[in-house]
Amino acid sequence: MADISGLRKELENMLVELGAKVDEIEGDLRASHSADWSERATEIEDDEMLESLEESSIHEIEAIRSALRRMDAATYGTCTSCGEAIAPKRLEALPYAEKCIKCAEAD
């Protein structure tokens, strides 16, 4: 298993970055729209993309918080589906992975 304290720090840094990203997106979404109809249509399309990015970021934040809770419970690195160890390479690539590759592919 990789260095848990190093992974915890990486996850905590990811939380800070994602939180700032979500705050920025929310600020952009609250900005007023142009009075020009064609410009407004473009802004509405942009808002839809921003909302999708925000939703994805919020989902990632939830996954990171879940990984931190698993670290606290000493279950980090164990697949939540089958109970087998998650490969270190998978955790390196996706530090908040909750399932081994076999179970993730089955979903």
Q: Measure CA of the first residue to CA of the last residue in the chain; give whole Å.
A: 25
Question: What is the token pair recorded at 86?
Answer: 């998650």
Report pLDDT digits (tens) over 40-83. 788 888 889 999 999 999 999 999 999 999 999 999 999 999 99
CA–CA distance, 107 with 84 (Å, rounded to integer): 16
User: What is the average per-residue pLDDT within 87-97?
Assistant: 94
- Domain ranges in the chain? 4-77
- For CA atoms 38, 39, 40, 41, the dihedral sign is positive
| Window from 9-18, 33-42, 76-85 with minimum mean pLDDT | 33-42
Q: Supply the pLDDT for residue 2.
A: 54
- Burial of 94 (C-beta count, 10 Å sphere; 0-12/13-18/19+): middle
* pTM (predicted TM-score): 0.82
Residue 32 has pLDDT above 90, yes or no: no
